[in-house]
Chains A and B, each alone.
Chain A
Amino acid sequence: KAGVTQTPRYLIKTRGQQVTLSCSPISGHRSVSWYQQTPGQGLQFLFEYFSETQRNKGNFPGRFSGRQFSNSRSEMNVSTLELGDSALYLCASSVPGQAESYEQYFGPGTRLTVT
């Protein structure tokens, strides 16, 4: 079974631009979560989608948004990029069911650099 895939793997953008990152979960997984990893703040939860609905959202400004499609693929968008948005963005998918029973499978991440 193919793992979680994320595209692109690396991205360089300029302050003020916007960016869209993509995540394809493992086949059959319907829950997709996004995390931001920075040296200063560590791993922080952005949002979680299940069946095209956002179920949870982390403490990030409205510039960060996401969506999930009917095939469970997910995208996240960051508008008006700031230098502090430079980070590794990780996507994770999980089997639907009892959340306490299932681990999450992470993709390789998208490394975003804002200059």
Chain B
Amino acid sequence: SQQGEEDPQALSIQEGENATMNCSYKTSINNLQWYRQNSGRGLVHLILIRSNEREKHSGRLRVTLDTSKKSSSLLITASRAADTASYFCAHSGAGSYQLTFGKGTKLSVIP
């Protein structure tokens, strides 16, 4: 399988703390994306980082990409209870809309 791996599988933190999730993948990529999923519902796109970018910010989110290590990390700063969800990284190859997803990190933010 070309599925990536996410680490940790589950993360529990207090509100206000930062949450860091890591993602590794196996193939060369064109871009890497992070999605959030609330309890068995649809996926919500959070951020996209292209293969020639190293870091990207969006609000309380910071994503890094290291193509030499085939890894990415998502940092959520000042977490809120509403951030409780599963987070997935996904990547696609050149010219393709096909996404390969990691197994996800289940984040619980305790109020």
A residues near B (Cβ < 8 Å) are 4, 31, 33, 35, 42-45, 48, 50, 55-56, 58, 88, 90, 92, 94, 98-109, 111
Contact = CB atoms under 8 A, between A and B. Distances in A.
A42 B104 contact: yes
Which of A31, A33, A35, A104 lies at the interface centre, i.e. has the most chain B CB atoms within 10 A of its CB?
A104
A56 B41 contact: no
A40 to B, nearest CB: 10
Nearest to B101: A43
B25 interface: no
A93 to B, nearest CB: 9
Interface of B: 3, 30-31, 33, 35, 40-45, 48, 50-51, 88, 90, 92, 94-104
Contacts of A101: 31, 48, 50
Contacts of B98: 33, 45, 48, 56, 58
A99 B42 contact: no
Contacts of A107: 42
Nearest to B46: A103
17 contacts: A35-B99, A35-B101, A42-B101, A42-B103, A45-B100, A48-B97, A58-B98, A92-B43, A99-B92, A99-B95, A100-B92, A104-B99, A106-B42, A106-B44, A107-B42, A108-B41, A109-B42
Contact of A94 (B94, B97, B100, B104): B97
